[in-house]
Chains A and B, each alone.
Chain A
Amino acid sequence: MPVLKGVGQCLIHAPNLLYHNGTTQTVERLKNPDSEYLKKLPEHLRKYDDAVAYAPNQAYIGNISLEELKTIPRPWYPNSINGASRFGKYGEIMPEDEFYGLLKIADAFDLVILEESFQEEVKEKLAKHKLINEQLLARLTNAKPLGEIEKLVASHTAEGLYLGEKLVGCVRQAHEIDENLSAHIMLENLVVKASGILAVLHLLANTGINPAEVDYIIECSEEACGDMNQRGGGNFAKAIGEIAGLVNANGSDVRGFCAGPAHALLQAASLVKSGTFKNVVVVGGGAVAKLGMNGKDHVNKGMPVLEDMLGAFAVLVSENDGLNPIIRLDVIGKHNIGSGASPQQVMKALVAEPLAKLGRKITEIDYYSVEMQNPELTEPAGAGNVPEANYKMIGALAVMAGEIGRADIPTFVQKHGLPGFAPTQGHIPSGVPALGFFRDALLEGKISSAMVIGKGSLFLARMTNLFDGLSLLIEKNPGKTEETTGLTKEAIREMVAEYLREMAKGLLS
């Protein structure tokens, strides 16, 4: 059985990317440049320290557990967490200026240009970062004077990188005509790459694995990198691995909207189970486009615009070590083409059917990780509490299966559900952000099984109206020896010794 060896989970505070590059804002600027929303928006952007002290963000990087978050009353944003810090056991919350530096580090085609003094400042800061080594720092080159950057931005051949009113750099277009290589797309793709790198660096540190031992990388964000002849050609995975030092790894990109990470996890686990590879990294970078997606509603409600975080994650799937939680591959929940698109059919395919195959009850799974969007971001926009709705659906399935009574649904939700805590970055909240929490709880023996559910809205690409989803069971490792042959090492040793004794006897006689 493949195991979940560790995670890297990072956030990047990105209020300026939100303001200049989030699609809600870029569309508004095109359609209604003098809008009240755009005027009010800067006053509603959070400071970095507030983003760090925000309880769901502390949960994302592992400083508080999801069980602890459950006990913290909402609203979370006006109540900072005491003792909050930038770094947690899964990763970190990086400030935007350092992230611009990381964008430059990630850049392989001299597309990112930072202003000279800003680059020096950021270099000093990144030099103090425990995971940014000399080799990475040396990539901070070719800074330019402000005037040159201003010219590029004014000529619409580059997207500006700002800190408040101040222009501190830009991302240039990579082609004059090809819109797939425009400055806008290059910025989005470089953000995926840079945030993915950050998550992988934390994953390497958290697991202690030698980077040279990673065999394969699967990237599962929601952007496409390519040019006009192959719009989604790829390959984010190798681009990320190159900078993160995974020299012996190959890789590829997997897509499936928000279900992408679940597909990637399934493939990683299958590659390990088959014996093809020993160590596979799954990584997903963040989405600039979704920053401030519900910003208008947040501003209208007088709240800070809370969708100011880029999310990134990485997990390491490895061959069985007899210790880390196993990813079961004997039964997978999967939404089939013929499954039907009603929520009931989807949840049946993802939860009820795989558990029935195993002879397990819905109530026997300790926790479910569903679409873990932070409700504080979605409720003001009328989208409700998404994870809670999912838990109610799973509870309703348990009612239909005769496991609980209808009146028990709220208790089921309380017992088997977790609070939504992830930024609304599409693939980032989709099942996977609870992997760090699940791994810890399984290792500590607090729980014995958890289900990760990824769901994707395929209609958005206008190719099909089908829905999508995959679910995987993660369980406590029963120990390595029982799984393969049923024989212990000692028993095998004894058998070999017996054979040798017999052979020696034969030789002597």
Chain B
Amino acid sequence: MDLQNQARIKELAEELGGENIVVLLGAAEPDTASLAAETVTLGDPTFAGPLAGVSLGLKVYHILEPEIRAEIDPAVYEEQAAMMEMVLDVDALAAEVSKMREEGSKY
């Protein structure tokens, strides 16, 4: 995950409290989504950014996961995300992100 994004998420977690934050990912590739989910739960696995060795344990979802879809107005979802649902491997993305959520989320 981008180092600046790591810094922003760390700051927000400190400011607002981890229990008040949900991280929504939009990554196209399951591997990338998994890496980002790991970064905001267990910590930066590449040990390159501000979240190296910092386990924020945040709640993290991919935008195309069913739990998130259920929260969004269907008309908005249709207009903004339906196309990508046809393009991306939603099952693989959901599997990777939910796995990290179960392993590393504290909330």
Residues of A near any B CB (own CB < 8 A): 340, 342-345, 347-348, 382-384, 389, 392-393, 395-397, 399-400, 406, 409
**A382-B32, A382-B35 are contacts. A392–B80 as well, Cβ < 8 Å?**
no
- The residue of chain A having its C-beta at the shortest distance from the C-beta of B63 within the complex is A342
* CB-defined contacts of A409 to chain B, threshold 8 Å: 86-87
Q: Are B83 and A397 in contact (CB under 8 A)?
A: yes
Can you give 28 contacting A-B residue pairs, CB < 8 Å? A340-B80, A342-B80, A342-B84, A343-B83, A343-B84, A343-B87, A344-B79, A344-B81, A344-B82, A344-B84, A345-B79, A348-B83, A382-B31, A382-B35, A384-B28, A389-B28, A389-B87, A392-B86, A393-B83, A393-B87, A395-B86, A396-B83, A396-B84, A396-B86, A399-B86, A400-B82, A406-B86, A409-B86
Option from B29, B81, B84 in Cβ contact (under 8 Å) with A384: B29
With both beta carbons as reference points, the residue of chain A lying nearest to B46 in the complex is identified as A296
Q: Do A382 and B86 have beta carbons less than 8 Å apart?
A: no
- Among residues of B, the one whose C-beta sits closest to the C-beta of A348 is B83
19 additional contacts (CB under 8 A) given A344-B82, A347-B83: A340-B80, A342-B80, A342-B81, A342-B84, A343-B84, A344-B79, A344-B80, A344-B84, A345-B80, A382-B29, A382-B31, A382-B32, A382-B35, A383-B32, A389-B28, A393-B83, A396-B86, A399-B86, A400-B82
Measured between beta carbons, the chain A residues less than 8 angstroms from B81 are 342, 344
Chain B: which residue is nearest A340 at the CB level? B80
Q: Give the complex CA separation of A395 and B79 in angstroms.
A: 16
Tally B residues with Cβ within 8 Å of A. Answer: 13
Distance in angstroms between the alpha carbons of A158 and B42 in the assembled complex: 44
Which of chain B's residues has its CB closest to A347's CB?
B83
Proximity string of chain B (11-42) to chain A, C-beta cutoff 8 Å, 1 when within and 0 when not: 00000000000000000110110010000000
The residue of chain A having its C-beta at the shortest distance from the C-beta of B4 within the complex is: A462
In the complex, chain B residues whose CB is within 8 Å of the CB of A383: 29, 32
Could you tell me the distance in whole angstroms from the C-beta of B75 to the nearest C-beta in chain A?
A: 13
Which residues from chain B contact A395 at a C-beta distance below 8 Å?
86
Q: Is the interface of A mostly helix, strand, loop or mixed?
A: helix
Please indicate the chain A residues that have their CB under 8 angstroms from the CB of B86 in the complex.
Answer: 392, 395-396, 399, 406, 409
Scoring B31, B79, B81, B87 by chain A CB atoms within 10 A of each residue's CB, the highest score goes to: B87
- In the A-B complex, list the 6 residue pairs whose CB atoms are closest, starting with the nearest: A396-B86, A344-B83, A392-B87, A396-B83, A342-B80, A382-B32
CB < 8 Å A-B pair total: 44
How distant is the Cα of A344 from the Cα of B84 in the complex, in angstroms?
7
Contacts of B35 in A (CB 8 A): 382
In this complex, which of B29, B32, B35, B83 has the most chain A Cβ atoms within 10 angstroms of its Cβ? B83
B31 touches A393 (CB 8 A): no
Alpha-carbon gap, A344 to B82, bound state (A): 8
Q: How far is the CA of A343 from the CA of B87 in the complex (A)?
A: 11
Distance in angstroms from A4 CB to nearest chain B CB is 30
CB neighbours (8 Å) of B80 from chain A are 340, 342, 344-345
- CB-nearest residue of chain B relative to A343? B84
- Taking the nearest CB of chain A, how far is it from the CB of B46, in angstroms? 10
Q: Which residues of B contact A342 (CB under 8 A)?
A: 80-81, 84
Q: Contact mask B75-104 → A, CB, 8 Å, 1/0?
A: 000011111101100000000000000000
B84 touches A393 (CB 8 A): yes
Which B residue sits closest to A399, measured CB to CB?
B86
Which residues of B sit under 8 angstroms from A392, Cβ to Cβ?
86-87
Residue of B nearest to A392 (CB): B87
How close is B26's CB to chain A, nearest CB, in angstroms? 9
Residues on the B chain within 8 Å of A389, using CB: 28, 87
- A397's nearest neighbour on chain B, judged by CB, is B83
| Interchain nearest-CB distance for A361 vs B (Å) | 17
Q: How far is the CB of A394 from chain B (nearest CB, A)?
A: 10
**Which residues of the partner chain B approach A384 to less than 8 Å between Cβ atoms?**
28-29
A345 to B84, alpha carbons, bound, how many Å?
Answer: 11
Name the B residues within 8 Å of A348 (CB-CB): 83
Closest beta carbon of chain B to A411's beta carbon, Å = 14
Residues of A within 8 A of B79 (CB): 344-345
Q: How far is the CA of A327 from the CA of B50 in the complex (A)?
A: 49
> Given the complex of chains A and B, what is the CA–CA distance between A389 and B29 in angstroms?
10
Q: Which of B31, B32, B80, B86 has the most CB of A within 10 A?
A: B86
A115 to B30, CA, bound (A): 50
Distance A393 CA – B81 CA, assembled complex (angstroms): 11
> What is the distance, in angstroms, from A386's C-beta to the closest C-beta of chain B?
9
Which of A340, A382, A396 lies in contact with B87, CB distance below 8 A?
Answer: A396
* Chain B, Cβ-Cβ closest to A406: B86
In Å, the complex CA distance between A185 and B11 comes to 34
- Report chain A residues within 8 Å CB of B84: 342-344, 393, 396
Cα of A345 to Cα of B83 in the assembled complex, Å: 9
Which residues of A are found within 8 Å of B29, using beta-carbon distances? 382-384
Question: Closest CB-CB distance, B39 to chain A, in whole Å?
Answer: 13
Q: How far is the CB of B2 from chain A (nearest CB, A)?
A: 10
**Residues of B with C-beta under 8 A to A343:** 83-84, 87
Q: How far is the CB of B96 from chain A (nearest CB, A)?
A: 12
Residue in contact with A400 in the complex, picked from B28, B31, B32, B83, CB distance below 8 Å? B83
User: B32's closest neighbor in chain A, by CB?
Assistant: A382
Q: What CA separation (Å) do A343 and B81 show in the bound complex?
A: 8
Which among A383, A384, A409 has the greatest number of chain B C-beta atoms within 10 A?
A384
| Complex Cα spacing A384 to B35, Å | 14
Chain B neighbourhood of A345, CB < 8 A? 79-80
- In the bound complex, how far is the Cα of B69 from the Cα of A315, in angstroms? 45
Q: Which of A347, A382, A383, A389 has the most CB of B within 10 A?
A: A382
Q: How far is the CB of B102 from the nearest CB of chain A, in Å?
A: 22
Contacts of B28 in A (CB 8 A): 384, 389
